[in-house]
Amino acid sequence: MLKQKQKKMEKQLEVRLNRTPAFTETWYEGSVIYDGETYQYWLIDPNHSDYEPELRWFFHKVPKEVRGMSGKIVDFFIENKKKNDDSPAEQSN
């Protein structure tokens, strides 16, 4: 039996966290009803950051046909958001 001596090397680990958020997100809940079953999702809006909106399903068992709608749901959200952003804001005096 061969015994090897290992030198213990000390490693340092430092974890940092900024206390000021880099950006904030808004999470919307939604659902798709397909073949009588409801599949819920979160639509994550990164609020004017460089990131695109993202859709996440609540559960892993989501049919391919439903998952395939993810892009369309995000596109619909972006389109409606642009319409709302472009509409004149009401100002109160």
Question: Which pLDDT value is given to residue 67?
Answer: 94
Q: What is the pTM of this model?
A: 0.66
Q: Which residue has the tokens 């997100």?
A: 25
**33-61: average pLDDT:** 91
Question: Which pLDDT value is given to residue 92?
Answer: 45
41: how many CB neighbours lie within 10 A of its CB?
21
Number of helices (H), then strands (E), in the chain: 2, 3
Q: Is the pLDDT of residue 90 over 80?
A: no
- Domain boundaries in the chain? 26-85
Helix, strand, coil shares of the chain as percentages rounded to 5? 25, 25, 55
Instruction: Tell me the residue length of the chain.
Output: 93
User: In percent, how much of the chain has pLDDT > 70?
Assistant: 85
Cβ burial 5-33 (10 Å sphere, 16+ → b, else e)? eeeeeeeeeeeeeeeeeeeeeeeeeeebe
Question: Which pLDDT value is given to residue 4?
Answer: 60
pLDDT tens-digit series, residues 4-46: 666 667 899 999 999 998 888 999 999 999 999 999 999 999 8
